[in-house]
Structures are given as structure tokens and as C-alpha cells.
Structure 1
């Protein structure tokens, strides 16, 4: 078993987190991941109202007695969701772990920690991770350039971002973006992370509420089949390559503004993709890790397979790499 600071912090067996994905993070998936020893996460804003979130949390609690978390993404908009009400539901439901993301979480972190809740904040840069640590986050999830959804604007891949984060932080962190198997988990641990967070990989599991057509497209897709849209607006988003994402890129490339693409990138259209299985209904998020996904297993078996494979990789290094003494000192051959 791979025990890290993160597994000890969250009371889980394996350093594997299911990403809090919009429209995907529901009770069945979160419970399956948690029952297997990972950390499942329900997505708060997938639920239309705070009362709906309370019901979803109760469904998850009926499906698992293991720790699970709730993601709450703090969006900036003219008519924001009632974040305080969602937060209060989380507290009253007895949830012990919350993942925050988006805009400044200071007030929310302070309030959650007053109720003994462990807070993980999702970041896309070392600077943001350091701020999360300063304002009281217990752990960080750091997103590399490879991730689905919003990778930030710095374009730093995990191979650099993970060790840079390890050098800077004192609190535990998990790495996100590009992870789909045991090799990735072993690599993340070697680079200094305390675990991994996976979104796209968990989309392709039996318990995922994503339509089977979309799961199959991910299995058939490669690492070349994603697009970065809205770069000109400094709100970059990694999505599947389709006619809609191509149209968004073309419009913005010709000097268009957000108002010109607003209807194309509407979240309700992405929700329809996942629910109805037509990949051309809108833009939908997927990460570069789809190039490493070749099956649609149960979420529990996936967690156990990745943990076991990571242990095998780590042990196997002793046979693949020999560290030998040389006349000049220690060397590697």
C-alpha cells in the first residue's frame, strides 16, 4: 500500500482522487471510488439547488461509509450561485472533506475549517498554491497544462509544475493533468506529489454518468484530439476537438469577443453531450490523458489497478536501474 501525507490527511488507502467534474461528480461514482480506497468527490454545482446537493450527499452516504469530498467551484458571474447556502449544506451534512476551486476561497476556507473540515484547493500555478497554503488550505491539487477544463494561462506541464510545487509547499498536494495509470501515479510520487487527481480517466468508468458514446470516443481518441479554446480571452479551456470547438477557435481568431461565442460554449450544451451522447451538441472537456485510456472498467477496479501498478513500477525500478559505485563516487548505469 502506498501511504503518503495525503492519504493520512484524508483517511484513505490509496493516493488517488476522483476529480470534481461538472455534470460527472455524482454519488454513484464518488462512492465507488471511495469504497475502493480512493477519494471520491461529488460536484456541488452539478446539483441545481442546495437542497438537491443535500439529497445527493445523503445518497453518497448511503452508498459508502468511507471518506468522500464535495467540490465547490467559486465562479465569478453576474448572477452567482448561492455559494454560502451550498457551503452550509456541506457543513450540516457532515461532509469532512471539501475541494474548493475558482476564485478567491479565503472566506470559504475560513468558515469550513471552523467546522473541522479538511480543505483541498485546486490551483494551476505555484503562486496560487502558495496563496492557498497561506490562507489555510490543508492540501492543494495542482493542475498541469495537460488537464481537461481550465489549465490556466502559464502552459506549464506536470513534469516541471509538480517538482516546482514540491519545492515550494509545506502542505501535501496531489497532481492533476495527464494521469491515467499506475505509471503516472509512480511518476507523480517520484516528482514530489503526495498523490494524483484524475478526471478524464474516471469519466470512462462504469459508474460515470457520461453517455456510453462519449466514453467510447475517449477510448478511441488520442492525445492529439483536444483543442484549447478561449486563449484570446485568457480563459483557456481544454475540450474535445469537434465542429463546435473549431468554430469557437475560428471566431476568436478573427477578432471575435466572448459575446460572439457565448452560446457555443454554454455549459448546458456540454451537459447535453454527456447526457445524450452526441459529441457535436457543444464543447465538452477532456484531457490529454485520453491517449492513455483504452477501457471502461468499474471505478473500484480502476483505483485498485492503478495503485497496484504503481507499486509494481516502483519496485520494478530496482531491477531496471542499477545504482553502482564507481571510482569517482556513486554512479548510475
Structure 2
């Protein structure tokens, strides 16, 4: 299946595995690459830029196919050394980067482009996608309201957001949020995207470097199995439904509640403990509404083969038979 996405990034299938904190490691990314899709290491999962360079080298030792690195740039009181991470990416010879975050990402996008790196920028609205296009990025990942992580504050689902963006964005675009099977891939292509990005679905694979308890929780949850947190703080985030995220929602709906009231519950370090130990009470885990479409834990290769087989069958049989 050829699309502008597969041709731009020299991959076989129009499927990307986006960068996920604590999850985007060499084991998963190399498996995605070897299966013909595009995987992304997560830069800030690594404790230092030197460790990131080592992880890039480790991933290269596991695949000879294209893969990229995600660098998410967010405002922070004590920000990580973003410039050093960016330099580690460039110096390691990585040619594909997924960027995300605030306007502060602009300087790194410009740095990557000046170094010959192809950039996919994650956006949650048409206006942000057009701004990124003007910055000179090579492709857009447009995130609908269904997605895990931060879906923005507009609450626009993919069924509207993807075609609305496709009407205006001229560069290649992949759809993110709610995708996990061949039906979603065909739908995304019909809506005007050039492929799909999956996060939660890749977490429920054998190669995902997270505890089996988390994978089983994703399989057990249905499409209602998420919570939206930080709504009152105008920094909405979608996470897996659990006792901890239920508590966060409850606290933040109380009059006068602030981030400080939930800071200890939502710490990223606690989320890492959950992913690594399987203690589902340790913190939060990120998951999208696509949980309702996830019923097993296949290998990455099995998953991608299944998605492409479903998509081919839908296009060749179901859609071809609709027109009289």
C-alpha cells in the first residue's frame, strides 16, 4: 500500500508508532520497523542525551529499517536539556523526528530541518497543523479527541478533525487517536489522511516494554475505560480508567482545587513504576478510547500483518461491492 507517508519515510505500511514516555524503547521500535512500519524512540525516556545516543545505537543493532525519535518540548520550571537531546539525535545520524509540544518546539524544528532531518509534528487542531506546516515540517500527525495523552481543549473527534485538516493541510498527514485495526486505517485514508498513528494499540503487544498487568488492563477496558483529567486546569489529558485516575478526577472537580492537590498522584515517576512493576495503584497509565477495540496481545508483526490484511480485504471486497 503506497501513500505519501510511505513514500516520504521509505516504509512499507502507512502505520506509525508514536513516541510514548517510558514505552518508546528499542525493543518495541525495532519490532515496528522490522514489520514495515515507522516506530519512534522516545528521547526523554532516556535519562541523559548520552543514554539516548546509546539507545539509538542499540535500536540500530536490532533493525536495519527506518525508525525515528520523538522529542516532546513542554514548558517546565526545570526543563530537561532539550538542545542536548536534539544534538544527540542529529549526531547519531537519525533522519526522522517526531516533535510535539508548545511553541518552544519551533527552534528545534528549525534545527532539525537545517540538519536534513524529516520532521513529523503532532497537532490537535487544524490551526496548529497549519502553523506547523508554515514552520516547514514535512508531515503532520493530527490527534483526535479519542487519543491517549493530551488531546487539546477543542474536543474535536477524528471523524471531523481529520477531514477538516485534510481540506487545508497540503503536506502528508497521518491520523492519530482511536486507531487499532484495518477498519480504522481504511477510514483514515478515506477521510484524507495518508496513514495512521497508534499508541495504545502498540502498548498491548508482546514487544512493548511494559508489565503484563498494564497490557491486560488495556484489553479488559472497553471504550469507556478512560478518564479525562486536568480539564479544569485547561490541560486536558486522557488516561486509563483506574482507582488512581478516578481519584484525580474527583479531587479536581472540587471547588478551588489546584494541580498541587493531585501532583503526588500524577507524577511521571509513579507512572513509570506502574509500567515497570505492574502495580496498578502506583500511578497513572496513558490509554485512549481505542481500548474498546483491543482484545488480545499479539506480536507487533502479527498486529501489523492483521491490520494490513483487514484493510486490503475491506478495500477489495466490501467497498468494491457497495457500488451497484
TM-score by length of 2: 0.98
3-state DSSP of counterpart to 1:70: strand
CA displacement at 1:320 relative to structure 2: 3.7
Report the Cα distance in structure 2 between the residues aligned to 1:319 and 1:134, rounded to whole angstroms: 38
Q: What pairs up with 1:237-256 in 2 under 5 angstroms?
A: 237-255=237-255, 256=257
Q: What pairs up with 1:217-256 in 2 under 5 angstroms?
A: 217-255=217-255, 256=257
3-state DSSP of counterpart to 1:263: helix
Report the Cα distance in structure 1 between the residues aligned to 2:197 and 2:231, rounded to whole angstroms: 24
CA displacement at 1:314 relative to structure 2: 1.1
CA displacement at 1:54 relative to structure 2: 0.5
Report the Cα distance in structure 2 between the residues aligned to 1:3 and 1:319, rounded to whole angstroms: 19
Q: What pairs up with 1:197-276 in 2 under 5 angstroms?
A: 197-255=197-255, 256-276=257-277
Q: What pairs up with 1:294-313 in 2 under 5 angstroms?
A: 294-313=295-314
Which residue is 1:292 aligned to? 293
3-state DSSP of counterpart to 1:137: coil
CA displacement at 1:319 relative to structure 2: 4.5
CA displacement at 1:216 relative to structure 2: 0.9
Deviations 1:135-176 (A, max 9, x none): 011000010000011111111000000000100100001000
Report the Cα distance in structure 2 between the residues aligned to 1:173 and 1:119, rounded to whole angstroms: 12
Which residue is 1:63 aligned to? 62
3-state DSSP of counterpart to 1:63: coil
3-state DSSP of counterpart to 2:223: coil
Q: What pairs up with 1:82-101 in 2 under 5 angstroms?
A: 82-101=81-100
- What CA RMSD, in Å, does the superposition of the two structures yield over aligned residues? 0.9
1:315 matched to 2:301:
no
Report the Cα distance in structure 2 between the residues aligned to 1:78 and 1:306, rounded to whole angstroms: 42
Report the Cα distance in structure 2 between the residues aligned to 1:311 and 1:106, rounded to whole angstroms: 38
CA displacement at 1:318 relative to structure 2: 3.8
CA displacement at 1:245 relative to structure 2: 1.2
Report the Cα distance in structure 1 between the residues aligned to 2:37 and 2:100, rounded to whole angstroms: 20
Which residue is 1:35 aligned to? 34
3-state DSSP of counterpart to 2:264: coil
Report the Cα distance in structure 1 between the residues aligned to 2:247 and 2:295, rounded to whole angstroms: 29
Which residue is 2:128 aligned to? 128
Report the Cα distance in structure 2 between the residues aligned to 1:62 and 1:232, rounded to whole angstroms: 45
Report the Cα distance in structure 1 between the residues aligned to 2:185 and 2:279, rounded to whole angstroms: 32
Report the Cα distance in structure 1 between the residues aligned to 2:232 and 2:304, rounded to whole angstroms: 37
1:156 matched to 2:150:
no
Report which stretch shifted further, 192-201 or 281-290.
Answer: 281-290
1:283 matched to 2:322:
no
Report the Cα distance in structure 1 between the residues aligned to 2:168 and 2:318, rounded to whole angstroms: 27
CA displacement at 1:197 relative to structure 2: 0.2
Unaligned stretches of 5+ in structure 1? Answer: 324-333
| Bigger Rg over Cα | 1
Deviations 1:101-155 (A, max 9, x none): 0112211111111111100000000000000000011000010000011111111
Count of aligned residue pairs for this structure pair: 322
Report the Cα distance in structure 1 between the residues aligned to 2:214 and 2:243, rounded to whole angstroms: 15
CA displacement at 1:322 relative to structure 2: 1.9
